[in-house]
């Protein structure tokens, strides 16, 4: 039997090998074609959303060499995609003003061997989650800090190899899709769903089969009910990280720590912002504890920090602010916490003296003991012998003794807060410090005395200096000009006198506050501070004089307070150049003349402030797994009179408060109707001047006004009925004018008592005469609404009627 070779089959086999087949993927120079194409599609998606694709994408055929991409050494397939913060654009905005990246997730189907996907911090939105079900090899998925919404897909919990899942800082709603019957992958080690809008119940008992679980973070979900305590349950996992800050947490987690006592490998524990009660859980500090970071801040814990019997060698950061912890700090605190770098026990009721053993904790970087009842003197070593201490806060205690303990050198690297105590004596004539480029020195509200002389201060990097609320006297020494990097200078509430010194080079101040002194003289622009950069200027309650033409140079000013001085002259229209202005106080001066109508063109809050006022002076960052601490400097605050009271505003008040106070001057003429354009202003005080004429009906356009004071002027005419539209108005006064007619009683005017109108003898309640408002449907007149009461107009109208009548009568009689 002859044997023949199957040449036909062989030729067919060769043809198949040579033919291109779309179903057979082959690497092209180390990169599979469909994966390269998918990456190019992602780059195109970035471009369509006004983002920018990485520069290396498209250069060369091997996508494994492109940025943000890693391939398997065995298969050549894409295994890792590092897309964190890949998209950055401010051009495509949603309805809330956020930029976002419309991401088509189907493109991921081209990466069958994907093990790692980091798409965090991209403001991305997804249309579909279906493709994630095919990620059978995925081990880590990070989608944090995007704009993902809706419900969390339950399919994510079924990915067989998924170990790390982070969906934090998104817009997810509803419950976490885990139930007693859920088939959760046993490979899961960490999941982070923090900072969303999750609700419903989340029980730790449902995680009982996750033997490898190490991290749970569901913080920042205020409506999420978290159940942790189950008496008969011993979890099969040992957590290393547990972060439950700001949840609807089981309130017994500390008082009856059934679950916590089963966790013996915890390194990070954050139960802050939960209104927890019970005693300070010192039982956490055992001999075998593994804790590194502990945050129990903003609760209602009582008891004391101690006794602690065993050294906590691993513990590096403790944050316990805003509780009710009392007692003393442990005398042996350096033995108990030898490796501490961050300690915050502020805003409690801790008393006694500050133990000097704190100085033996050589790794301390941040120490906050403020807002307690600590007494005695501040250990000198804290000021001079702490080589890496960045920030020391002991504000608002009962500490005393000589300021700086008599030392002339400060070892603090960044910020020293001694304010709100009883430190006394004069400022040292010679002072050096190891401040970094943004040094802060806050000594306000103490018992300091003597004169200001900075001639031998070597603090060239000082950024913030507050000496407010002391008993300093004399003139401001010209040596203050040596503080060339100063951004905030607060010398208010002292007994300083004389003129503000002239500097060869004006200081680049953002905040300059010298209110409540006896300073005098003229203000010369660009002599002491750079007028074009200052954002907050408070010269109130002094003896300054001269005109105020110089304010036109304050191009960046947001808060301007010149009240209670001796300024005179007129308010120039050049004031209207200050388009960033939010608070204007010229009250209690001798300003005269008319009010420029262009003031109505100022925005006063219409345009949002780009950079928050107080975020310009912030401390160094302290980054820990459970708190990223960024503390901004907090001064005494700015004052402004509204609603009959003086209010102190702190932090970013400038983003929501706006007002004008021109009271107690000699301003005259009619109130410009253009002031009605100030639709975002919240307070307007024109009282105690010589304004005459009518109240502009255009004031009805000030839709945000809360306080309107026009008292003690010479205003006449009726109260415009249109003002009843002001739904936010809570304080209104027109006392002691010459107003007439009826008093509106609708809208907010129904809540004002008669004291708001006294001293106007021709005013009467609406019930005693005709209605104040015309029939509905009338709108604001374009000319301000004053023509309706014009006597000349009445006369002309009457005469026209008479003439028309007689012409008609004569014509009719003639025809008859």
Q: What is the pLDDT of residues 684-716, one digit of tens each?
A: 999 999 999 999 999 999 999 999 999 999 999
Q: Which two tokens stand for residue 34?
A: 């469909």
CA-angle at 194, arms to 193 and 197, nearest 5°: 90
Place of tokens 């099969």: 236
Scored b (16 or more CB within 10 A) or e, 359-384 reads bebeebbbbbbbbbebeeebbbbbbb
Closest to 263 measured CA to CA, from 288, 246, 227: 288
Closest to 642 measured CA to CA, from 687, 581, 591, 603: 687
Q: Which fold has domain 26-147?
A: 3.80.10
Name residues whose C-beta falls within 8 Å of residue 613's C-beta, 6 or more positions apart in sequence: 535, 536, 558, 559, 652, 653, 654, 655
pLDDT tens-digit readout, 431-476: 999 888 788 999 999 999 999 988 889 998 899 999 999 999 999 9
Burial class of 165 by CB neighbour count within 10 A (0 to 12, 13 to 18, 19+): buried
Name residues whose C-beta falls within 8 Å of residue 516's C-beta, 6 or more positions apart in sequence: 492, 493, 494, 540, 541, 542
Helix count (H) and strand count (E) of the chain?
6, 58
Tell me what pLDDT residue 653 has. 58
Tell me what pLDDT residue 30 has. 65
Q: Cα-atom radius of gyration of the chain, to the nearest Å?
A: 36
Q: How far, in Å, CA of 803 to CA of 809, rounded?
A: 10
Closest to 57 measured CA to CA, from 77, 36, 85: 36
Name residues whose C-beta falls within 8 Å of residue 35's C-beta, 6 or more positions apart in sequence: 63, 77, 78, 110, 111
- Least confident range of 24-33, 75-84, 535-544, 564-573: 24-33
β 618-623/628-632 pair status = antiparallel
Q: How far, in Å, CA of 2 to CA of 24, rounded?
A: 38
CATH number of 511-771: 3.80.10.10
Say how many C-beta atoms besides its own lie within 10 A of residue 531's C-beta: 22
What is the end-to-end Cα distance of the chain in Å, rounded?
Answer: 144
Q: How far, in Å, CA of 402 to CA of 387, rounded?
A: 22
Q: How far, in Å, CA of 501 to CA of 454, rounded?
A: 13
Closest to 266 measured CA to CA, from 279, 253, 255: 253
Q: 740 phi and psi, to 5 degrees?
A: -140, 175
- Which of the pair, 259 or 16, is modelled with greater confidence? 259
Closest to 498 measured CA to CA, from 482, 511, 509, 514: 514
Task: Tell me the average pLDDT across 313-337.
Answer: 95
DSSP 299: S
Say how many C-beta atoms besides its own lie within 10 A of residue 675's C-beta: 21
Proportion of the chain above pLDDT 90, given as a percent: 67
Tell me what pLDDT residue 799 has. 44
Confidence of residue 815 (pLDDT cuts 50, 70, 90): very low
CA-angle at 105, arms to 101 and 106, nearest 5°: 140
Tell me what pLDDT residue 606 has. 61
Task: Tell me the average pLDDT across 96-116.
Answer: 85
Closest to 704 measured CA to CA, from 631, 642, 754: 642
Tell me what pLDDT residue 16 has. 35
CA pseudo-torsion sign 140, 145, 146, 147: positive
Tell me what pLDDT residue 808 has. 41
Q: How far, in Å, CA of 138 to CA of 132, rounded?
A: 9
Q: How far, in Å, CA of 205 to CA of 318, rounded?
A: 29
pLDDT of 637 > 80? The answer is no
Q: How far, in Å, CA of 240 to CA of 255, rounded?
A: 21
Q: How far is CA 764 from CA 711, 730, 760, 776, in A?
A: 17, 21, 9, 22
- Which of the pair, 628 or 439, is modelled with greater confidence? 439
Is 511-771 in the same CATH topology as 26-147? yes
Strand partners, 69: 81
Q: Which two tokens stand for residue 143?
A: 């989608």
pLDDT of 400 > 60? The answer is yes
pLDDT of 786 > 50? The answer is no
- Give this prediction's pTM: 0.85
> In what helix (H) or strand (E) does residue 367 lie, and over which residues does it extend?
strand 366-368
pLDDT tens-digit readout, 479-492: 999 999 998 999 99
Contact by Cβ (8 Å): 703, 681: no
Contact by Cβ (8 Å): 89, 49: yes
DSSP 544: E
- Which of the pair, 320 or 12, is modelled with greater confidence? 320
What DSSP string describes 441-481?
EE--SSEEEEEE--TEEE-TTEEEEE--SSEEEEEEPGGGG
Name residues whose C-beta falls within 8 Å of residue 24's C-beta, 6 or more positions apart in sequence: none
Query: Would you list the domain boundaries of the chain?
Result: 26-147, 365-466, 511-771
Name residues whose C-beta falls within 8 Å of residue 335's C-beta, 6 or more positions apart in sequence: 311, 357
Residue 727's Cα: distance from chain center in Å?
Answer: 28
Tell me what pLDDT residue 812 has. 43
Half-sphere exposure of 192 (CA within 13 A, CB side): 19
Q: How far, in Å, CA of 550 to CA of 531, rounded?
A: 9
Confidence of residue 771 (pLDDT cuts 50, 70, 90): low
């Amino acid at each position: 039997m002859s044997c023949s070779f199957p040449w036909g089959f062989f030729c067919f086999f060769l043809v198949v090998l040579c033919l291109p087949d779309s179903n057979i993927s082959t690497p092209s120079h180390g990169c599979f074609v469909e994966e390269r194409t998918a990456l190019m599609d992602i780059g195109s998606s970035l471009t369509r959303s006004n983002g920018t694709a990485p520069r290396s994408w498209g250069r060369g055929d091997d996508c494994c060499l492109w940025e943000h991409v890693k391939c398997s050494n065995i298969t050549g397939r894409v295994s890792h995609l590092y897309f964190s913060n890949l998209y950055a654009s401010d051009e495509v905005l949603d309805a809330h003003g956020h930029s976002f990246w419309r991401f088509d997730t189907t493109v991921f189907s081209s990466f069958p061997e994907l093990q790692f996907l980091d798409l965090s911090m991209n403001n991305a939105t997804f249309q579909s989650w279906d493709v994630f079900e095919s990620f059978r090899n995925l081990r880590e998925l990070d989608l944090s800090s995007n704009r993902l919404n809706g419900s969390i897909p339950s399919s994510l919990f079924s990915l067989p190899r998924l170990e790390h899942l982070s969906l934090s800082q998104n817009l997810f709603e509803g419950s976490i899709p885990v139930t007693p019957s859920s088939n959760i992958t046993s490979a899961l080690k960490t999941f982070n769903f923090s900072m969303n809008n999750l609700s419903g119940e989340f029980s730790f008992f449902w995680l009982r089969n996750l033997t490898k679980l190490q991290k749970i973070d569901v913080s920042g979900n205020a409506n999420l009910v978290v159940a942790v305590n189950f008496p008969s349950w011993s979890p099969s996992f040992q957590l290393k990280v547990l972060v439950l800050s700001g949840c609807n947490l089981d309130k017994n987690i500390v008082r009856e720590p059934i679950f916590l006592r089963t966790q013996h490998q915890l390194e990070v524990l954050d139960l802050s912002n939960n209104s927890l009660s019970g005693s300070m859980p010192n039982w956490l500090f055992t001999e075998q504890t593994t804790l590194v970071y502990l945050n129990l801040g903003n609760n209602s814990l009582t008891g004391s920090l101690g006794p602690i019997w065993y050294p906590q060698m691993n513990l590096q950061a403790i944050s316990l602010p805003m509780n009710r912890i009392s007692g003393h700090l442990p005398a042996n605190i350096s033995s108990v916490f030898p490796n501490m770098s961050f300690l915050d026990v502020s805003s409690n009721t801790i008393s006694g003296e500050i133990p000097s053993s704190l100085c033996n904790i050589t790794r301390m970087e941040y120490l906050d003991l403020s807002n307690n009842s600590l007494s005695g003197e501040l250990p000198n070593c804290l000021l001079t012998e702490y080589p890496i201490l960045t920030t020391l806060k002991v504000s608002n205690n009962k500490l005393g003794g000589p300021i700086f303990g008599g030392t002339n050198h400060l070892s603090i690297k960044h910020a020293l807060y001694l304010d709100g105590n009883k430190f006394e004596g004069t400022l040292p004539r010679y002072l050096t410090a190891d401040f970094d480029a943004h040094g802060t020195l806050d000594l306000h509200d103490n018992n300091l005395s003597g004169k200001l002389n900075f001639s031998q201060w070597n603090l060239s990097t000082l950024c913030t200096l507050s000496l407010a609320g002391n008993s300093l006297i004399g003139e401001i020494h010209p040596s203050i000009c040596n503080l060339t990097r100063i951004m905030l200078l607060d010398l208010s509430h002292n007994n300083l006198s004389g003129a503000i010194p002239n500097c060869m080079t004006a200081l680049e101040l953002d905040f300059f506050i010298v209110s409540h002194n006896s300073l005098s003289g003229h203000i010369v622009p660009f002599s002491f501070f750079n007028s074009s950069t200052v954002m907050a200027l408070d010269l109130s309650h002094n003896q300054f004089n001269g005109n105020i033409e110089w304010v036109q140079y304050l191009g960046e000013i947001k808060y301007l307070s010149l009240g209670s001085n001796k300024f005179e002259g007129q308010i120039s229209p050049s004031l209207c150049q200050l388009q960033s202005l939010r608070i204007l106080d010229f009250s209690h001066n001798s300003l005269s003349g008319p009010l420029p109508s262009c003031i109505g063109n100022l925005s006063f809050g219409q345009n949002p402030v780009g950079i928050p006022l107080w975020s310009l002076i912030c401390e160094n960052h302290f980054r820990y797994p459970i708190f990223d601490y960024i503390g901004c400097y907090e001064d005494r605050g700015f004052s402004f009179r509204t609603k009959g009271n003086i209010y102190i505003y702190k932090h970013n008040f400038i983003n929501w408060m706006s007002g004008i106070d021109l009271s107690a001057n000699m301003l005259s003429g009619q109130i410009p109707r253009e002031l009605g354009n100030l639709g975002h202003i919240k307070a307007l005080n024109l009282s105690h001047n010589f304004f005459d004429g009518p109240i502009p009906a255009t004031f009805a356009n000030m839709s945000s006004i809360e306080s309107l004071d026009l008292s003690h002027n010479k205003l006449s005419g009726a109260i415009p009925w249109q003002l009843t539209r002001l739904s936010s108005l809570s304080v209104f006064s027109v006392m002691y004018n010459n107003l007439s007619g009826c008093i509106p009683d609708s809208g907010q005017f129904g809540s004002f008592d008669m004291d708001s109108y006294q001293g106007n003898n021709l005013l009467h309640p609406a019930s005693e005469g005709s209605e104040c408002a015309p029939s509905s449907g009338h709108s604001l007149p374009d000319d301000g609404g004053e023509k309706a009461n014009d006597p000349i107009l009445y006369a002309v109208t009457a005469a026209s009627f008479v003439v028309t009548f007689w012409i008609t009568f004569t014509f009719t009689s003639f025809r008859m």
